[in-house]
Structures are given as C-alpha cells and as structure tokens.
Structure 1
C-alpha cells in the first residue's frame, strides 16, 4: 500500500507541470544527450498518471469504496435506507385517511385510493430518470437533489384542496423520492463485493418493506389525533433526517470518483464511446427503458420471477384496503386499532432478514469456499441464491389461507393478525432472493436491467390492486376473496423451485450474457 500511495503522490506532484518549460531541470536532465531519455521518462510518467486517473491506483487505493472501513461503509447505507423507507412510507401512510377523504370531498372509495395509485406508479417510473442521472452525475448528487424536491412536493400535498391536486402532487412526490429505490442497490454494490454483499443488501432491502408496514400505523394515529394533511407532512421529517445524513456521505460510483480525480489532476477525460449526445441519449433510452421491457417479455427467468415477486408485492398493497375493511367490519376496530394490525407485516419482514443471512452463511457460502479451494474465483451457480425464496414460497399461501378462514367474528382477532407474519416473511424472503439471483445471473449492466424490469412490474401491479380490492372483498366475501389470492400464490409457488432445478439450462439459452457456470 505504501508503494501505491507513493506513486499516487508522485503523480499528483508531476501533474502540476503541464508544459515542458514548467518541468524542473532535474526531470529534464542536465545535458542535451539525456534529453531523449528524459522525454521518454516524462512520457511514461504521464502514461502512468493517466492510468491512475482512469482506474484505481492498485487494489488498495483508498479512494475505492471497496477499501473503506466497515464503519464508513455501514454509515453510507443508513441515509439511502432512510430515504427508501420514506419513499415507501409515503405510499401507505395515506391509506388511513381514505375514509376522511371520501367524506370531505364526496368521492368514492376507488377515487379516494387514486392518490395511492399515482404515488406507486411514480415509484415505478422514477427509476427511468434516476438510473441515467446517476450514471452521468454520480449517485450522491442524485440523493442530494431528489430528497429536497420530494419534500417540497410533499409539503404541497398537505395543502391540496381537491382530489386531483392531491393525485398530481403525490405523483411528483413519489417520483422525486424514488431514485433511492432504483440506485440504492448500486450504492451498496459500489462498496461491497459479491461475497460480503448479502448482509448489507438484506438490511437495505428491509427498509422499503418497513415503509408499507409502518405507514398505516403512523398514518392512523396522525389522522385521528391531527388530521389527514399531517399524513403527508410527517414524511417530511424523515426526509429532512435522511438529507442531513446524506450531506456527510461521499460519492461511491467509480466513474464519478475517477472523473473528479482526473479533473483535480488536470487531465482530459477519456474518449467517449458515443460520437454525439444524441447517440448517448439513444443508448440510455435503450438500456434504461427498452432493454428491461425486452427482458421482461423474452427472458423466462426475468418474466416468471418478476411476475411472482410482483404478485406478492401487489397483495401486500391490497392489504392497505383489505385490513381496515376486515377488522372494522368483523371486529369493530377503530382507525388506530386497524393501523396497529400492520405491525404484523413489519414483524414478518424483519424475520426475513435473518432467514436470508442464515441461508447465505450455511447454504451459499460453503459453495463459495469450495470453489476457492478448488482453484476457482469463488463464483458459484446463482441458483444457490434461491434458498430463501424456496422456503418463503410456502409462507405466502399459508398466510393467505390462514387469514381467509380465521377472519371471523367467532375467532379471536389475534389469529388473522398473526397470519400476516408468514405472508410478510415469505414475501420479503422471495424478493431478496430474486434480486440476488437476477444480479448474479445477468451480471453488471444486464443485471440492472433485469432488476428494473422486476421493479417496474412490481410497482405497476402494486398500484392497481388497491383500486379493486374493496369491491372484491365485498362481492366475494373475506374468505373467498383472500382464498383467491391464496390460490394464485399456490399456483406461482413452483417458480423458485423450477428455477433452482432448471435455471442452468435456461440461462444457457438466454439471449443475454449470463453467468455460465
């Protein structure tokens, strides 16, 4: 490391001399006969300098986020986790206010749920802008800009005077908060190689799942004890806290860090692979929008895994409408009591994290160690990432059928509440496993597109389900409406199991570059 640091310091010092007349005599040489050799040395030194600014200065470059201390890496997870929590909190914290909105503005339940739908749709569309912005300007600046903009729109939502203003402002609020959901995983990947990425990824992914779980809890108390407008303004406090933490964070994206290093050293940027700005925009459009949609349609792995995860996610959003209806009509719960029911979702989501960590430690890492012991680089088939999803796939139908047939007046309210725990556990276990599987399968750029396809379908279905949930429960009844969801969850249960058994052969026939082991 000392040699690398010395070379770096020498490069910085030499970079101050940009013309031959500025180079000291000791570098020019003391005689004409040595000028040619000195020029060669000068050329070599500048080439070394260029290499230093175009890539890391060795494996132990302190500017590389992979070499940061554990404390520093952990700190950088906190702000993006809180931003992601704030983003998803904004979706669900509104739901306890739906009856108040219906009464205050004289709208139907479907119309009153539209602000939720618009917000969740924005969470799906926001990453289309966030991804190329982070690739161009870096991740840190995207966080610094998006959070205040989201807070401003959220402030406006609390002053809305009609349902359509509320819908529009919530849409832009969700779009502004959504970048953390799109590039947060990239930030974690910047700081952690594959073998140590599971724990920080699981903890980070938990944060946007806690938002929907805690949102109705917070929203119910705020709606009753203040008014529905404070369900919007409460989000701002979380946004301010995350913004303050972000101010003390640093850039983690490699290209941006090296670009700033080149600027500091006075070096020109490397030649762009794009002949024009139009070509670059065309490429970004193809990568950020067309490629995810193409993979969603043509890649069986992306298609079925995204459909599975998206359905599970949409059932969670359907509960925003179903839980208050069920517990008020069957058990006579008030608004605050109905909100507290969602704590079971938070408990189940929290249990998914140790599940993923245990699977990683005892079922995935042994294969990594075996690969290295046999002279490999530690790469293993991505199917070993699916163990949490295979286990969680049973929790989903169990939780749904349990809820369907115990949400009755002659059975204690505790039974349907507890039934939400295995559902939430299975939901998040499947999601984390699916995200890791897609990244390992498609690698780098294609992996990001696969995750984008997964996220797009997940939020689109999540936005739509609450619009017809109440009608479904009123027409079919609590038992058969929830059982219908349970039957679909059972039909989709084999997805991770089939991929575990046949994933290798499916990957071999992929149109995209996949991991070939």
Structure 2
C-alpha cells in the first residue's frame, strides 16, 4: 500500500506523527496525503478500533518499586502510626460487646425482664459483627479504607450513645444490633490495612499480631471494665465508658489517618495528573462481586470445603465458649464464692494474660520451628507444606480441654477461688494459638479472593456462635451444674483436638481436591 521510498525512509516521526500510529509501529510516509485513510484501513482489516475511538486506559499501578505513594515505602514510624487506628478501633468495638454483662442484674431490675432477656443485647451486638462485614466490602470499594473507618466508627459511637439512652430493653437490643453492624467494618477492613502497609512475610508479623490481638483483648477486658464501673454506677455508664474511650481516640485520628488502599490512592493521583481512569464496572457487576465475596462464596465454602468447615467450627466453638463465659463466670463465682459484679469481672484478667502468652508463643513457634522447616524445604528445592502453619494450633488444641476440665473440677466452695481463676489462662492461651494458626493456614491455602471468602466464612460462623452461646449459658449451668456443664464443653474440645492433627497429616489431600484455587502440592 505504501510507496517504497516511504517505507525505506529513516526520518524521525516528528511532531506531526499520530501517537496511535507510533504505538502500532507504523512509520508515517512523508508524501502520502491519504496516509490516515490507509492507516484506518489497516486497523479496520486487523479488527482494531478507529483512531478516534475511545481506547480503554491501562490499569493504574505504582510508578516504580520505590514509589513514595506506596504505603509499604512509607517511613517506618509512619507505618507504625497508621497501624494503630484499626487496632484501637477494633479494640473499642469489641470492648463494647460484653462490657455491660456484669451489670445484667441492673437491666433485669430496671426493665423488669428475665436474666436471659437481659443477655439478648449481647447477642444482637455480636450478631452485628457477623452482618457488618457485608457493608465493609462495598464501602471500601467506593470510598477507600480511611473513610470506612471514619464513617463506620462515627456511627458506632452514635448508636452506642443511643444504647446508653435506651428507654426499654427492645430499644437496647435494636441499638446494640446497629452498633455492632456499623462497628464491624473496623474488624473486617483492618486486616486489609495491615496488608497494605506491611509485608507480613518480612517485617509485618508483629503488626499483624498486634491487630489480631486487639479484638480478643477488647472482648476479654470488657467484663473487667464493666464490672468495675457498674459496681459504683448504673449499667448505662458502661456505654458512657465506651464513648469516653472511643470518642477522643476518634477525634485524635481524624487529621492524621492516611489512605492505604491502593486503588483509592492511585485513583486520586490519576485525577491530579489528569490521567484517564480505567472504566468502572457497572453497578450490577459491582454488586454481584460484593455479594459473591461477602455472602455467597463464604456460605458455599462453609458447606463444601472440608478445610473451611473444620477450622471454622473449631474457632467458632472456642469463640462461643468465650462469650458463654461472659454469663457463666459471673454465675459460677457468684454462686460458689459470692463474688459481686466487680470481682467477677476481674476474673477475665486471666484470659488477657493467656491471650498475651498465646500471641507470644505463636511468634516464637513461627520464628523458630516454622521458619526453620520452611527454609530447610526451600533449600532442598521442595515446596514447604502450608500445614506447618498448624503447629501452633496443635499446641493450643492440647491446652483447651485442660483449661475446661480444670475449671469444671475446681470451681467449688471447697477449693480456693484462685484455682479456677488460673484455669482461664490456658483458655486464652489456646484461643489465640488456634485462631492465629487457622487464619494463617486459610490465607496460605486459598489464593487471592478465595482467601478473603474463607476468612469471611470463618468470621460468619465465629460471631454466629458468639451470639448464640450466651443465650443458653445460664440454663445449661443451672440444670447441669458448673462441673457437668463445663465438662461437656471439655469433651467437645477433646473431640475437636483432632482437627489440626488431621489437617497437618492430610491437608495436602484436601487442598488438591478443593474446588477453589488453592495452593497445590
């Protein structure tokens, strides 16, 4: 089509060269007045769009590995500071869940309801934790992580205040449900923030552990603070305490929090540079994606994936027992040792000690046994099995039934109260080891979005158990007695001990049979 002289020309493209033709590797002839028509014809014959057509822009990405906008390239102190807000928000949200449980007698007296009804606000708040993450995903897609934190936590504080002003138990249940729903995004989005800022395989292990510890510490310290404040004040002051802790924290972080979500950062920079943004998916496609990741896929995995089913049931059982203890421990120590609400709440300090010890033990196992065996496998040209992550769960699974049987057989008037109190330490210890090992194993086993769905399935079942277990705690302990009721829990724990050992041995088989994108071999 082009004349031979033009094809042999070595002249530069010059200012008149069409950018699209340069991209195609076509040199513009100098003397051909119909060159644009020729190029258009070539593009048409090859199935390419016309030159004046809108060409979709390339996906946004960092300019280079050391891009200063990348949160992983921020100064170390800045990264540490940006890790604190999601951890503290998670702490306050979970602190609010059981904080009033030591004051249930006051709710019974004020609203003239039974003990079981007085515990329902604990159930509704925890149920909100299961439902809330379905809000977190679409919000973070639309506004980024920073605004999810600020909007959701502001609403959480608002409905916590409404809970403190509730005129009846029905309003209290509703306000607590909404507070749990709008507070849950802090729990759901926090793990993403840690992944934005830190490379957990290199320098982010401590940050990840700090974040994971915070909700467990919040749940365990709730009865401690609630018991102390309700001893001198009414149950409403437990809500005011949450506001007094969370309000100033929220105001302090507003001007200092940074966005860490990669798409949100790159979108803002592209707008500042005048770049064309990639096309957005339609509303229907976006909603389909959200529902798939946050609801349909997690539920499907709970019914079809043995790894997800077993580990979720195990962690859900432990979490359910923790929330059952919010009612059972005040009852047990009240009937056996005549503890008041303040003294009963202080028992949960043992759980806090166990959580700290469990987190430290996980770190030691991860940095010694796991790392050594991982590096040995790599050095020998082998794939390190992800089942190595379950070593910590195997240790924790042995401590859990010990804790429950210890409590069951020692919480009686003939034995000093310190003995059953100390039994709660191995419970917190085992809870952290099993949860941390399960979470890291699920993340390493399932790839990309499937890992998010696996963790969502785990959270859905975990908070579901946490919501239900307190409802039958008192009936169970009243009808069976403290010893038999806790022994029954211990027997279930013994059966579940097999879970990490079975998957440590046969996990590869289940991974290869999975219908999802898992790490094979």
Q: How high is the TM-score relative to the length of structure 1?
A: 0.89
Q: 1:175 to 1:247 in 2, by over 3 A?
A: farther
Local SS of the residue matching 1:251: coil
For residues 91-110 of structure 1, the aligned pairs below 5 Å read: 91-110=97-116
Match for residue 258 of structure 1 among 244, 254, 266 = 266
Q: Which residue of 1 aligns with 2:180?
A: 174
The answer to whether 1:472 aligns with 2:472 is: no
* Structure 1 residue 194, shift from structure 2 partner: 3.8
Local SS of the residue matching 2:235: coil
Local SS of the residue matching 1:255: helix
* Structure 1 residue 287, shift from structure 2 partner: 1.8
Local SS of the residue matching 1:502: helix
Distance between the aligned counterparts of 2:376 and 2:137, measured in 1?
A: 36
Report if the CA contact (8 A) 1:473-1:481 is conserved: yes
The answer to whether 1:191 aligns with 2:171 is: no
Q: 1:450 to 1:33 in 2, by over 3 A?
A: closer
Q: Which residue of 1 aligns with 2:51?
A: none
Q: Which residue of 1 aligns with 2:71?
A: 65
Decide which moves more: 242-251 or 395-404.
Answer: 242-251
Match for residue 462 of structure 1 among 453, 463, 466 = 466
* Structure 1 residue 246, shift from structure 2 partner: 4.8
1:20-66: per-residue Cα shift (whole Å, max 9, x none)?
xxxxxxxxxxx99722569589979xxxxx76x71111211111112
Q: Which residue of 1 aligns with 2:367?
A: 361
Distance between the aligned counterparts of 1:247 and 1:174, measured in 2?
A: 25
> Any gaps of 5 or more consecutive residues in structure 2?
1-10, 25-56
Report if the CA contact (8 A) 1:82-1:238 is conserved: no
Match for residue 146 of structure 1 among 144, 147, 152 = 152
The answer to whether 1:78 aligns with 2:84 is: yes
Match for residue 237 of structure 1 among 240, 244, 250 = 244
Decide which moves more: 116-125 or 62-71.
Answer: 62-71
* Structure 1 residue 242, shift from structure 2 partner: 3.4
Match for residue 217 of structure 2 among 200, 210, 218 = 210
Decide which moves more: 366-375 or 487-496.
Answer: 366-375
* Structure 1 residue 372, shift from structure 2 partner: 5.5
The answer to whether 1:438 aligns with 2:446 is: no
Local SS of the residue matching 1:263: helix
Q: Which residue of 2 aligns with 1:28?
A: none
Match for residue 35 of structure 1 among 8, 11, 15 = 15
For residues 26-425 of structure 1, the aligned pairs below 5 Å read: 34-36=14-16, 39=19, 54-196=60-202, 197-243=204-250, 244-272=252-280, 274=281, 276-370=282-376, 373=379, 380-425=384-429
Local SS of the residue matching 2:412: coil
Give the total of aligned pairs. Answer: 477
Q: 1:246 to 1:188 in 2, by over 3 A?
A: farther
Report if the CA contact (8 A) 2:102-2:226 is conserved: yes
Q: RMSD between aligned alpha carbons?
A: 2.0
Decide which moves more: 185-194 or 142-151.
Answer: 185-194
1:156-189: per-residue Cα shift (whole Å, max 9, x none)?
1111110001001111111111111111111111
Q: 1:247 to 1:392 in 2, by over 3 A?
A: farther
The answer to whether 1:504 aligns with 2:508 is: yes
Local SS of the residue matching 1:513: coil
Report if the CA contact (8 A) 1:348-1:422 is conserved: yes
